[in-house]
Amino acid sequence: MLVLLLIALLSGGAGAQLFGAGSTFTVEGDLFMLNGEPFRYISGSIHYFRIHPNQWNDRLQKIRAAGLNAIQFYIPWNFHEHHMDQFNFQGDRNFSRFLELAQQNNLYAFVRIGPYVCGEWENGGIPWWLLKEKDIDLRSADTRFLWATKAWWHNMLPHLRPHLLRNGGNVLMVQIENEYGSFHACDYEYMETIRDYARKYLGKETILYTTDGASEEMLKCGTIPGAMPTVDFGIASHKSIDHYFELLDHYRPPPPKVNSEFYPGWLVLWGQTTNIVPDIAGILNSSQYMWDKNASFNFYMMHGGTNFGFWNGAETTAPVSRSPGNRSTVFQVITSYDYTAPITEAGDITPKYLAIREWIGSLPNWTHTPLEVPQNSTKSAYGPFNVTRIGTPLQLKKFLTNKCVKSKYPMSFEELDSPYGFVLYETKLKVGGNSMLIEGIKDNGFMLLDGAFAGSFVSNFGNYSKHSVEIRMRPNQTVTILVENRGRQTYETINDFKGIIGNVTVNGQIVDDWEQCAIHMDDEVAQTIKNLRNPVIPTRCERFKGPEVYVGAFETPVPTDTFLLLPYWNKGSIFINGFNIGRYWQSAGPQPQLTLYVPKDILRPLNTIVIFELFNVEGCWGEVCSFKFVEAPIFNFIETPSQFGVRSGRTYKQNLIRRRTWNIKYPRWFGWD
């Protein structure tokens, strides 16, 4: 800890803060007091789980260089407890190391421990395995949910406790839940229970807080005695900002004015072609007004990062209400979580960053003087390179699956202990017909009949669903359905089961006797696939419609950050050296994201790539297809600057998304069959 203290003193410049054991952080009326002195913060959200750990320090240095004095981040439960009672706090999950780096960069921290975090993250951070109890009430006083939360915090909070300010760390406050007032349950027993859990593990001296949209209704259900209330909202008129903060004055005593999520950018969904984002003038205007009102606030996001792997969530576009209602309009979040933030997905500074940095530097008596801005990383273009088609998931079944289960009726992902990605369902027909119907399927299904692509099923891509395939089927033919989990719903929380979750019928007759195999596209499987020497496909030149696996190798003699471009591909996932860089989706009409960010730290001089394509690839030569890397990201949506109109929390978010809905384009492959 002495080393950390010395580093903080050396790196902090004027007004460097101390992180000594025994330091105090308290709330006195509407003021924060740090070691007995009035304190305010301007912080920035950054998610360790969306950044390669080798890049954590670079991003933190840039946040500090902007003049911010703190960071704010979630701890997503499902990222650390992938399977029940199997905890991981190492490598890219080592938030203790992340906090240490923040402290070395002279940054305080505000940590949001959930159990629900939202963050446009898979299932809002709640583990999939809780859904094995089909009737569980998430985010409620359901004893099963509370028991699991307590067990999670019992294992996680000891990793956080040493980083509390009084223990010599840099954590000032801890948030419980997130925007609970936007959830229909309004369960005070639940909120009181998790508050008491947090106090037990962190101590009564630790300041707990909540964050909710700036409305009386949301604050009523999202706040709890013993946890300081805060609000969230984006750029707004001065009159609106006055109103939002006045909502906090209803509490006794009135707490410090805090905007825990002030939005300098916004998220993007698959199929979206326009995005309304705050303009720089509006950001600075609202920032200055909040500052003049003696408020503290947090830029959400200061740096967004990437939804690597299968970690993207899904968002509803229904109007906000605290009743469950009809939440059928759902879109998934794209792989990039750039968020049009001041620091880009790849860690580059922007005009927005420089404007915020200049504004902070102009504040009188602000002790956290902006520092020299670190350099952006080098980006390179590589290729083009080739990959070879190895086979379909059905042909590669023995390599892609290590667990198959037989049952009378189809089993869900959760019942199979297969949390993310894909499951292969297979049966031999006992009856014939010309129409297969699956009412319950989440989210996409790709049907093969005797190994040939027959059609697709789609559930809830926006307001579009397709639950039947029309094709002539005969008894004893083999039906295979590859089901894709596009990402569980983040907001609003539901029991978002995945897979075939209802009866399958042919001309009204139930199809039974299924075998389902979980496909594990993890590091080990990727290594196995890339080492295949003899493709299992038949030799032919015509293109196959449907899911396929491609493998290739490429060289990057001097690895740098880069962006993967797949101009002729449709939809799928990509593994480079066993690392899942995320989902691509070019086929849903004009798409917002055309490249995938590839951090240099996953590259080697000689690399392997595995591409799991779900449809087909255009512009190939026989079994050989191509891809390349470019120096800059390519996004395909129109940014519309907005100076005012950003409201609060989920109220604003849903209004904004609803405006976008008219620009959503549905995939052309919906009409294939």
The partner residues of 173 in beta bridges, in order of sequence, read 110, 207
DSSP state of 467: -
Is residue 27 within 8 Å of 230, Cβ to Cβ? no
Calpha distance 149→187 (Å, rounded): 15
Tokens 């509370």 found at: 146
Half-sphere exposure of 286 (CA within 13 A, CB side): 31
Amino acid at 20: G
Instruction: Report the alpha-carbon angle 99-101-102, nearest 5.
Output: 65
Q: Two tokens at 319?
A: 């109007």
Half-sphere exposure of 268 (CA within 13 A, CB side): 32
**Dihedral, 378, 381, 386, 387 alpha carbons, nearest 10:** 40
Amino acid at 388: T
Omega before residue 115 within 30° of 0, cis: yes
Among residues 347, 342, 376, the alpha carbon closest in space to that of 357 is found at 342
Query: How many H helices and E strands in the chain?
Result: 13, 37
Q: Two tokens at 260?
A: 């825990």
Q: Two tokens at 317?
A: 């576009």
β-sheet with 314-316: strand ranges across: 330-332, 314-316, 489-491
Calpha distance 64→102 (Å, rounded): 9
Calpha distance 600→51 (Å, rounded): 12
Is residue 447 within 8 Å of 453, Cβ to Cβ? yes
Tokens 């002729």 found at: 568
**Dihedral, 355, 358, 364, 365 alpha carbons, nearest 10:** 110
Task: Name the residues annotated as catalytic.
Answer: 179, 261
β-sheet with 504-506: strand ranges across: 468-473, 433-438, 504-506, 509-510
Q: Please, what is the angle between helix 238-246 and helix 280-292, to 10°?
A: 50
